[in-house]
Copies of this chain bind each other. A is one copy, B any other.
Amino acid sequence: MKVLVDLCIVPIGVGVSLSPYIAACEKVLIDAGLKTALHSYGTDIEGEWDAVFAAVKRCHEVVHEMGVPRITTTIKLGTRTDRDQTMEDKVKSVREKM
């Protein structure tokens, strides 16, 4: 089952500068071979369900290993059985109608 995900990981208890932790998560996602697109409020990810969620779990583990005591994460995720749709398809489909 393929899934499109928007992942937003928020480290808590380490001050207001969060980008080092987000950068570490980007590395986890890329090392996992996932297709990703960083945006201003998260990272869009495309891949097989198990690979994507194994990487999300690894992100939490890595961020905790960096000394973060608490993490809150927001995920949006979509699956569909009617047709295959990439991250680019979704954006293109909206742009064509504007």
Q: How many copies altogether?
A: 4
Complex Cα spacing A73 to B76, Å = 6
Contact between chains at A91 and B38 (CB < 8 Å): yes
B residues in contact with A94, CB < 8 Å: 19, 22-23, 26, 38
The answer for the CA separation of A61 and B41 in the assembled complex, in Å, is 21
Q: Is the interface of A mostly helix, strand, loop or mixed?
A: mixed
**Contact (Cβ within 8 A) A76 B41:** yes
A77-B87 in contact (CB<8A): no
In the complex, what residues of B have CB within 8 A of residue A53's CB?
Answer: 53, 57
Query: What is the bound-complex CA distance between A10 and B13, given in angstroms?
Result: 11
Q: How far is the CA of A38 from the CA of B39 in the complex (A)?
A: 9
Judge whether A38 and B73 touch: CB under 8 Å: no
Q: How far is the CA of A77 from the CA of B9 in the complex (A)?
A: 9
